[in-house]
Amino acid sequence: MPQTPQTDAFILGSRPVRRLGYGAMQLAGPHVFGPPKDRAEAIAVLRHAVANGVNHIDTSDFYGPHVTNQIIREALHPYPADLVIVTKLGARRTPDTAWLPAITPQELKQGAEDNLRNLGLDMLEVVNFRAMFSRLGPAEGSIEAPLTALAELQRQGLIQHIGVSNVTPAQIAEARRICPIACVQNHYNLIHRADDALIDALARDSIAYVPYFPLGGFTPLQSQTLSTIAARLDATPMQTALAWLLHRAPNILPIPGTSSVAHLQENLAAADLVLPPDALATLDGLLIDT
Ligand SMILES: NC(=O)c1ccc[n+]([C@@H]2O[C@H](COP(=O)([O-])OP(=O)(O)OC[C@H]3O[C@@H](n4cnc5c(N)ncnc54)[C@H](OP(=O)(O)O)[C@@H]3O)[C@@H](O)[C@H]2O)c1
């Protein structure tokens, strides 16, 4: 009996979203800095996503900086009633395109206000605290102070729900002692599975897990096995990789990024891709870099 893809919804914060969302980072210029090459296409991507049922968009005011949020506002405001926009705080950009931590209470409040203004919102529905301890991925270190500052912004009504990103299980536990955590956003995909146990633990608590770089990010996924299975299913490797994520656990909400309407269409079709048990088993066993 083939397993059908999980096309159902999952609660993100307080509202259901379709499990396949959209990540807006690719809508900024090179190095996620400055304006995109083709602003009209960026706007078309966002409108096409929403017109085709996407109701979870991941963004940040440090994409551009500000550019991506301003494009989202231009393309979609006033926003559809069911759209959940998730943004991030905890970093800032410098003119040389670097990413630096921005975690003081003042920086976090300024960041929230910048997001509200650039997105044209009165309240940010979900804000991820993006930890910046290491350039290489999650690294231990207390996040108590910035989480406490975000919880204060929540009390003030600037933020509705708080999530965490680029974090370890210990940091998630620390965050959950300070405030409810709506979602965890970490690097995870078919060949990068350091969070396998974490995903299952979060699923037991009905907390959304949002894998960033679901298609491999700056180094798109490449695997002969993936390509062979995709061809057999009359699908593309990217569709097959997204379908695998949708099968992996019910709390996984992939946010593939693209700057192209054609790629977006291809990616959204992954929600309907059935992975037969043997294909699923082969993909489950495909571990290259974990
Ligand atoms: N919390 C964090 O620290 C963090 C870090 C990184 C990203 N994120 C979020 O996660 C989202 C997803 O990550 P991502 O966009 O960096 O990486 P991704 O979704 O893994 O892959 C995006 C790359 O794949 C290409 N692509 C997309 N669809 C394709 C298709 N059907 N065929 C061929 N190539 C395709 C895109 O190029 P084209 O533009 O040419 O399609 C782009 O180069 C981001 O948009 C962002 O919202 C969060």
Quote the ligand 1 centre to 27 CA distance (angstroms): 10
CATH number at residue 15: 3.20.20.100
| Contact 63 CB / ligand 1 (< 6 Å) | no
| Residue from 12, 119, 215 whose mutation best tests the ligand 1 pocket (most atoms within 8 A of CB) | 215
**Residue 222, burial from CB neighbour count under 10 angstroms (0-12, 13-18, 19+):** exposed
Tell me what pLDDT residue 215 has. 98
- The answer to whether residue 4 sits within a structural domain is no
Q: Which atom of ligand 1 is nearest to the CA of 220?
A: 24
CB of 263 sitting under 6 A from ligand 1: yes
220-233, pLDDT tens digit by residue?
Answer: 999 999 999 999 99
Burial label, 173 (beta-carbon count in 10 A; 0-12, 13-18, 19+)? exposed
Cβ of 213 closer than 6 Å to ligand 1, yes or no, is: yes
Compute the distance between CA of residue 64 and CA of residue 129 in angstroms, rounded to an integer: 18
Q: Is residue 197 part of a domain?
A: yes
Alpha carbon of 83 to those of 49, 99, 164, 175, 190: distances in Å? 11, 28, 20, 26, 27
pTM exceeds 0.85 = yes
Task: State if residue 217 touches ligand 1 by the CB under 6 angstroms criterion.
Answer: yes
Q: Which residues of the chain have pLDDT under 50?
A: 1-6, 289-290
Pairwise CA distance, residues 46 & 23, whole Å: 10
Look up tokens 């551009």; give the residue.
64
pLDDT value at residue 2: 39
Tokens of 210: 């949002």
Pocket test for ligand 1, best of 93, 188, 258 (most atoms within 8 A of CB): 258
* Backbone φ/ψ region at 206: left (φ over 0), alpha (ψ -120 to 50), beta: left
| Nearest alpha carbon to residue 60 among 156, 140, 165, 190 | 165
Ligand 1 centroid distance, CA of 126 (Å): 20
Cα distance between residue 167 and residue 161, in whole Å: 17
Q: Which of 128, 219, 207 is nearest to 166 (CA)?
A: 128
The pLDDT of residue 8 is: 84
Residue 1 lies in a domain: no
Residues near 226 by beta carbon (within 8 Å), at least 6 away in sequence: 190, 237, 240, 241, 283, 286
The preferred substitution site among 39, 130, 164, 263 for testing ligand 1, maximizing ligand atoms within 8 Å of CB, is 263
Query: What's the pLDDT at 288?
Result: 53
Q: Is 267 touching ligand 1 by the criterion CB < 6 Å?
A: yes
Position 135 scores a pLDDT of 87
CA of 24 to the centre of ligand 1 (A): 8
Tell me, yes or no, whether 140 lies in a domain. yes
Which is catalytic among the residues 22, 63, 188, 212?
63
Hey, whose CA ends up nearest to atom 41 of ligand 1?
258
In a domain, 17, yes or no: yes
pLDDT digits (tens, 9 = 90+) for 45-95: 999 999 999 999 999 999 999 999 999 999 999 999 999 999 999 999 999
**Number of domain units in the chain:** 1
What pLDDT score was predicted for residue 55? 98
Predicted local confidence at residue 228, as pLDDT: 97
Task: Report pLDDT for 290.
Answer: 37
> Which residue do the tokens 């019910």 mark?
250
Strand partners, 210: 185
| Residue 254 Cα: closest atom of ligand 1 | 12
Which of the 8 DSSP states describes residue 142? -
Residue 289 forms part of a structural domain: no
Do the Cβ atoms of 139 and 196 come closer than 8 Å? no
Q: What is the 3-state secondary structure (H, E, C) of 261-274?
A: HHHHHHHHHHHHCC
63 is an active site residue: yes
User: By residue range, what is the domain housing residue 80?
Assistant: 9-284
Residue type, 156: Q
- What pLDDT is stored for residue 3 in this prediction? 41
Residue labelled with tokens 């210990």:
170
Distance between CA atoms of residues 26 and 36, nearest Å: 8
Which pLDDT belongs to residue 143?
A: 98
- Asked whether residue 3 is assigned to any structural domain, the reply reads no
Output the residue whose Cα is nearest ligand 1's atom 32. Answer: 263
Q: Whose CA is nearest to atom 37 of ligand 1?
A: 258
CA dihedral 46, 48, 51, 52 (to 10 degrees): -110
